[in-house]
Amino acid sequence: MQHSIRNVLILPILLVSGSLLANEPIQAIPSNSETNPALAELGKKLFFDPRLSKSGFISCNSCHNLSMGGTDNLKTSIGHHWQQGPINSPTVLNSTFNIAQFWDGRAKDLKEQAGGPIENPKEMASNHKLASKIIASIPAYREEFKQVFKSDTVNIDKITTAIAEFEKTLITPNSRFDQWLLGNKEAITAKEKSGYELFKTSGCIACHSGVAVGGNSYQKMGTIKPYITENKASGRFAVTGKESDKFVFKVPTLRNIELTYPYFHDGEASSLTEAVNTMAKIQLAKEFTKEETSEIVAFLKTLTGDQPDFKMPILPPSHESTPKPEPFDK
Amino acid sequence: MQHSIRNVLILPILLVSGSLLANEPIQAIPSNSETNPALAELGKKLFFDPRLSKSGFISCNSCHNLSMGGTDNLKTSIGHHWQQGPINSPTVLNSTFNIAQFWDGRAKDLKEQAGGPIENPKEMASNHKLASKIIASIPAYREEFKQVFKSDTVNIDKITTAIAEFEKTLITPNSRFDQWLLGNKEAITAKEKSGYELFKTSGCIACHSGVAVGGNSYQKMGTIKPYITENKASGRFAVTGKESDKFVFKVPTLRNIELTYPYFHDGEASSLTEAVNTMAKIQLAKEFTKEETSEIVAFLKTLTGDQPDFKMPILPPSHESTPKPEPFDK
């Protein structure tokens, strides 16, 4: 009885505090995504399947490693024949909240993105026809496609639909910052709270806002001072051809930023301290004190949410008719 | 009450049948291994951690992929800078039952084996000192070492002890053949049973016996007819220097053989049909009919057991002091 009374007293307080906090420019991640479980399960297998690459060695998970924040933690990725990738692998975690995919936003959604690396000669170096033929040759996959799509025909459209559905499940709720947003005042420390205030008052929040704390706009890298890099990526310019889009990139999410080092499209910032100081200088014409940077970094580390929590998938074996991987052929 | 009576009636039958079948030259895998769970859990993280390689890209799981029968399903593996490995990656599944590790048995146990690839310049291309320094620099690892080893000192001895402990858990009980061995007569078909009889009467069983259906002896590849291959591996000769040990290799386990293609130390047999026919010819001076080969292959496929069943590990993030991966430096 006392229990019920306590609930009655506490609930309205949480609701009031929740509704006040809902006015924050960052929103908590929903605790689950609306996805088709069977389709996502098939997509999980495909995400981990290196047979989508020419070598039979590289899977989506190679560069978007779900054990490591959905990234490879390298400046730029390793592709087919150890070719050096042109840009830092963005995290696949919470990527469903992005305005578009890739640093330059050239893919409109996760499904379109998933097809890219498979046929990129510097990445997985296969092609959509071969990848589909390989998957179609594997009896257990064909059976699973039949159950999920009501037809056992395998094509790149279905493959990327399934991978995208799995990726939609890769959201990371329950970070300490989200707990705080949802009303638990104890979830973050005074220092972390100061860091968040500084993050807002300094202007970081202008671009890093919303559910994913970024991912929802394109911005120029170096609005105040030019960003000096040897990296050749030209950003949105590659998509739109507009001079004004040179060095304009999708703002990355700051969710799980503690795990997704190194930072920036060129991966040149190896620590959060370095990344925060560079951003302040080139985007905000600011120079933080050591203490201020430390507070912001402390805040950023509260954005680490629950990491993917699932059984490692077991992949169905190839059939005698499955085209063989060609790891050492050019 | 009826339930208890039924148990009383059935149990002795199972025991009798079990004890009869215990005389088979192949034994069922025990359903669990005696391991230290906390140590194995640490080992699982290390098994999946690419920071043990110079590039930060290759982990134990890259070539002993637990989603794919504990192998990479390639003829020979891909190492640092895409170097071609000299030999087919043996499965890590049930490797605890092996007489020794590697095809030539040069490592006496799993712990000794685990240290090899880390410092092999063609494989992970790191060294024991650097690998230990990297792991020691990661606060969450140090904490876990402290809990497991009662001291947070990290060294290669502890790293390989943990990896080996995890690998000891990688046993695959409950195959249909094991169910049959344990008394369930319905677990395999008449054709599969015929295949097993043929496997015994033809002499395959002479080398492929015991709990792991192999792994317990060294034998010459090509006892009757020489095995023709471009592969340079000389087998046990590399360890003992004895002329008689040339082309003598550890007999591989046939457990999960359906998943661990391609076959032989050079990976040149792409299908079970091919592998069985070649073995018959060069080891037994036999030529099986198409039907006989098909029966043996059917039997071999009953040896697929329960695959690893665990949550994908989440790796602790590097610290600012963690030595950086060097994927593109020679």
Sign of CA dihedral B3, B17, B253, B102: positive
Q: What whole-number distance in Å separates Cα of residue B291 and Cα of residue B273?
A: 11
**Residue B96: half-sphere exposure toward Cβ, Cα within 13 Å:** 17
Task: Give chain A as a 3 state SS string.
Answer: CHHHHHHHHHHHHHHHHHHHHCCCCECCCCCCCCCCHHHHHHHHHHHCCHHHCCCCCCCHHHHCECCCCCECCCCCCECHHHCECCCCCCCCCCHHHCCCECCCCCECCHHHHHHHHHHCCCCCCCCHHHHHHHHHCCHHHHHHHHHHHCCCCCCHHHHHHHHHHHHHCCCCCCCHHHHHHCCCCCCCCHHHHHHHHHHHHCCHHHCCCECCCCCCCEEECCCCCCCCCCCCCCECHHHHCCHHHCCEEECCCCCCCCCCCCECCCCCECCHHHHHHHHHHHHHCCCCCHHHHHHHHHHHHHHCCCCCCCECCCCCCCCCCCCCCCCCCC
Q: What is the pLDDT of residue B330?
A: 58
Per-residue pLDDT band for A21 (boundaries 50, 70, 90) equals: low
Kindly tell me if the per-residue pLDDT of A19 is higher than 80: no
Task: Select the more confidently predicted residue: A286 or B6.
Answer: A286
pLDDT of B276 > 90? The answer is: yes
pLDDT band at A32 (very low <50, low <70, confident <90, very high): confident
CA of A260: which chain B residue's CA is closest? B317
Query: Which are the catalytic amino acids of A?
Result: 123
Give me the total of CB pairs closer than 8 Å, taking one residue from chain A and one from chain B: 94
Residue keyed to tokens 């004890």: B19
Residues A106-156: tens digit of each pLDDT: 999 999 999 999 999 999 999 999 999 999 999 999 999 999 999 999 999
In the prediction, which pLDDT does A190 show?
Answer: 98
The whole-number pLDDT of residue B3 equals 40
Tokens of B226: 């020489």
pLDDT per residue as tens digits for the range B230-246? 999 999 999 999 999 99
Please state, in angstroms and rounded to a whole number, the distance separating the CA atoms of residues A171 and A30. 8
Please state the length of chain A: 330
Q: Do B73 and A56 touch (CB under 8 A)?
A: yes
Q: Is the ipTM of this complex over 0.85?
A: yes
Q: What is the mean pLDDT of residues A24-47?
A: 94
Residue A225 CB coordination number (10 Å): 11
Segment A95-110, tens digit of pLDDT? 999 999 999 999 999 9
**pLDDT(B119) > 80:** yes
* CB atoms B270 and A320 under 8 Å: yes
Q: How confident is the model at residue B18 (pLDDT cuts 50, 70, 90)?
A: very low
Task: Kindly report the average pLDDT of chain A as a whole number.
Answer: 93
| pLDDT bracket for residue A38 (50, 70, 90) | very high
Instruction: Write down the mean pLDDT value for chain B.
Output: 93
Hey, what amino acid is at B18? G
The whole-model pTM stands at 0.93
Helix, strand or coil, per DSSP, at residue B245: helix
pLDDT for A168-179, tens place per residue?
Answer: 999 999 999 999
List chain A residues with CB under 8 Å of B328: 84
> What is the pLDDT, as a whole number, of residue B33?
77
Which residues in chain B are contacts of A49 at CB distance < 8 A?
A: 67
CA distances from B121 to A190, A210, B118 (A): 48, 46, 8
Write down the pLDDT at residue A329.
Answer: 81
Which pLDDT score, from 0 to 100, does residue A6 have? 38
Q: Do B317 and A258 touch (CB under 8 A)?
A: yes
Residue A322 has which token pair?
């499955």
A251 pLDDT exceeds 90?
yes
The alpha carbon of residue B320 is apart from the nearest alpha carbon of chain A, in Å, by 6
Query: What span, in angstroms and rounded, lies between the C-alpha atoms of B256 and B29?
Result: 12
Encoded tokens for B53: 């390689």
pLDDT of A330 above 70: no
Angstrom CA distances, B129 to A61, B115, B119, B146, stand at 28, 11, 9, 19
Say if the Cβ atoms of A312 and B317 lie within 8 Å.
no
- For residues A118, A119, A124, A128, the Cα torsion angle rounded to the nearest 10 degrees is 50
User: What residue has token string 């088979």?
Assistant: B24
Test mutation, A71, A312, A320, A322, chain B, max B CBs within 10 A: A312
Are A312 and B271 inside 8 Å of each other by CB? Answer: no
- Best mutation target, A55, A73, A311, to test chain B (most B CBs within 10 A): A73
Q: Which of A263, A314, A320, A324 to mutate to test the interface with B (most CBs of B within 10 A)?
A: A314
Question: What chain A residue is nearest to B272 in terms of C-alpha separation?
Answer: A320
Mean pLDDT of A37-46: 98
Residue A18: is its pLDDT beyond 50?
A: no
